[in-house]
Structure 1
């Protein structure tokens, strides 16, 4: 394998940490074909009586989504929720995306769709053209028992006696940006969030409350100084290939050169939270993230609207997207102490992992990464570290790693990412100081080239494959541009007479050579 190989060390003597399943969250916005013609397509032979595409529900359910954010995004800053409830709905002109929205998919439909896929609903409120009162009224409509007030009674009139029970709410979306309708200065934002949060909590103090922030001291520190007592998480966003005006996606190596930027954003935001005095109290929600930004050139012409179709060019979504997404999730999970939610933006069409067309679906490369992380990892993160050769002049290591363990403490799921575009890379794995040996089950996502992608005619060019990986004196050769999840079973049985409090955080620890007492 040569002398230049990576070394991954996994500690079993350190306390493991539970991570939030909300890191595998999702996001849907009223943009182009995400909702209409995406998850909601009345009249399609593939839709049920509610208008929900059944093939989409099944595919998204397989990603084990814990939470879905809606309705925006930039859309929300001109969205008034009352237009999307009840039997009598009127279309409105969406000033964010400059198209007419029929309002046939609103609050009730969103909650029903979340129930269908097994996810908790997360509603982002209008802090652009909306008011604190309008935000809190929406919470009442969804969460209070009938008879509590005007808006909960209105929900009952609309056919829902029981509350819709929306646990997650956010105040605003990207209100720091000049592109956002109703953009604010830092002081304006801090005051609005504080007063809106107070009203929302007086309606339902049990909600998990988020607000729009950024990895920027001048914006987020005043926000937390004013509203910190009322919020549970700050919401930050990341698109590392910005394509709004010109659709010229970056190549594989450029994408890899930016793959450390998410962890930098996490650290900066965590530092700001700490500076405000809320370390360990307020978390981070990366509630919009994707390698690629959305293409939506300025203008209201038919050509400008049609240009949004370029987001649905499946050839864009290659192994670059897959490897970057895996690196992003590793960064979030390694910082499970502070990252409490992350939402791929979006789930359907545009830049999402699932392409939906009139006759079916295509699972893009990112879909399979999300499936691997949602289905194959343990529930707790182990302390791990990697020493690796560098891939680029930007100092990006060629190997990235994550180690998780199941709740019994008996099975480690080891994620190894090889970012090299064309070279297999040797990697030595050590667990509790011992080199890993033997054959272990694995799931591998790779492809013939970095530019491989799935589309309607070739839906399975990039798919995970099951494999057996042989570690010899700790070493294994990782395929180029690949994500590998290896399952490592630690030795059994329990030490004689010790059947209580056994596990990675108990008095006994599992290592490759058997059990030993911790400390």
Structure 2
């Protein structure tokens, strides 16, 4: 017996045609002679349930981390000297969990925090990085807790740490730039710092001096955050 293979499109087309023929025969029974009697066939219809329809972009299943509350400190970053199991300062339990989820992208540093963040504060030796008041911590809960990293940003989790976190969990980095309180030229310098080939620019040399000779090759960039309100009235 000859075996045939129908695609989904061919199967649907044949079904519609057969339905139309049956409708016409019922509507005009006297014209039945226009149709010949059905012929026996040795073909068969094969429905392939596992046939793919299309590819879902993994970037749809992204995640987001921001320097608000305990998301970064002590959620993502616990420090290399912490008693909490960590990989270079990044919480190991989180890395293990995110590897199971397989996120497509992770966005950082915000959110609203991105609109006040200067990426240059988060590079270089951690002990020399400047500490800043977190612009977005303005509720009573944080005002009363004293000097904590959630309130006074130590910048221990910066660009290099974020890239390492993304690599550990197998996600693409998505960086949201500050175009609310910094000029666009600083955004351009951040791209240059992350993506310039080794030795090609001063920022590439600074990146190498900070521990990463090879570029980060960041593909996804956010031009500000909530540019219609929180990040500025751009519309």
Partner of 1:199: none
Task: Note the C-alpha offset of 1:127.
Answer: 1.3
Task: Note the C-alpha offset of 1:49.
Answer: 4.9
- Cα distance in structure 1, aligned partners of 2:227 and 2:156: 26
Q: In 2 relative to 1, CA 26–49 (structure 1 residues): closer, same or farther, beyond 3 Å?
A: closer
Q: SS at 2:182's partner residue? A: coil
- Cα distance in structure 2, aligned partners of 1:12 and 1:66: 30
Please, which runs of 5 or more residues in structure 1 have no aligned partner? 1-10, 187-519
Task: Note the C-alpha offset of 1:185.
Answer: 3.7
Q: Aligned pair count? A: 173
Post-superposition Cα deviations, 1:469-513, rounded to whole Å, max 9, x if no partner, equal: xxxxxxxxxxxxxxxxxxxxxxxxxxxxxxxxxxxxxxxxxxxxx
Task: Note the C-alpha offset of 1:45.
Answer: 2.8
Give yes or no for the alignment of 1:79 onto 2:131.
no
Partner of 1:413: none
Partner of 1:70: 108
Give yes or no for the alignment of 1:135 onto 2:173.
no
Aligned partner (choices 77, 90, 104) of residue 156 of structure 2 = 104
- Cα distance in structure 2, aligned partners of 1:72 and 1:116: 20
Partner of 2:233: 184
Q: In 2 relative to 1, CA 185–161 (structure 1 residues): closer, same or farther, beyond 3 Å?
A: closer
Please, which runs of 5 or more residues in structure 2 have no aligned partner? 1-6, 13-51, 139-150
Q: In 2 relative to 1, CA 185–121 (structure 1 residues): closer, same or farther, beyond 3 Å?
A: closer
- Cα distance in structure 1, aligned partners of 2:176 and 2:199: 25
Task: Note the C-alpha offset of 1:150.
Answer: 1.8
- Cα distance in structure 1, aligned partners of 2:89 and 2:124: 16
- Cα distance in structure 2, aligned partners of 1:112 and 1:120: 11
Partner of 2:73: 36
Q: Summarize the alignment of residues 180-219 of structure 1 with structure 2, pairs less than 5 Å apart.
A: 180=230, 182-186=231-235
- Cα distance in structure 1, aligned partners of 2:82 and 2:207: 28
| Range with bigger deviation, 21-30 or 40-49 | 40-49
Q: SS at 2:110's partner residue? A: coil
Q: Summarize the alignment of residues 480-491 of structure 1 with structure 2, pairs less than 5 Å apart.
A: none
Q: Summarize the alignment of residues 271-350 of structure 1 with structure 2, pairs less than 5 Å apart.
A: none
Q: SS at 1:60's partner residue? A: helix
Please tell me the root mean square deviation across aligned C-alpha atoms, in Å. Answer: 1.8
Partner of 1:16: 53
Answer whether contact 2:172 2:218 (CA < 8 A) is retained: yes
Partner of 1:91: 131
Give yes or no for the alignment of 1:174 onto 2:174.
no
Partner of 1:458: none
Partner of 1:459: none
- Cα distance in structure 1, aligned partners of 2:213 and 2:119: 19
- Cα distance in structure 2, aligned partners of 1:44 and 1:54: 11
Q: Which has the higher helix share?
A: 2
Partner of 1:117: 169
Task: Note the C-alpha offset of 1:18.
Answer: 1.9
Answer whether contact 2:176 2:221 (CA < 8 A) is retained: yes
The runs of at least 4 consecutive aligned structure 1 residues that moved more than 6 Å come to: none
Q: Summarize the alignment of residues 107-506 of structure 1 with structure 2, pairs less than 5 Å apart.
A: 107-177=159-229, 180=230, 182-186=231-235
Post-superposition Cα deviations, 1:247-266, rounded to whole Å, max 9, x if no partner, equal: xxxxxxxxxxxxxxxxxxxx
Q: SS at 2:189's partner residue? A: helix
- Cα distance in structure 1, aligned partners of 2:119 and 2:75: 21
Answer whether contact 2:78 2:86 (CA < 8 A) is retained: no
The TM-score, its normalising length taken from structure 2, stands at: 0.69
Answer whether contact 1:77 1:96 (CA < 8 A) is retained: no
* Higher CA-based Rg: 2
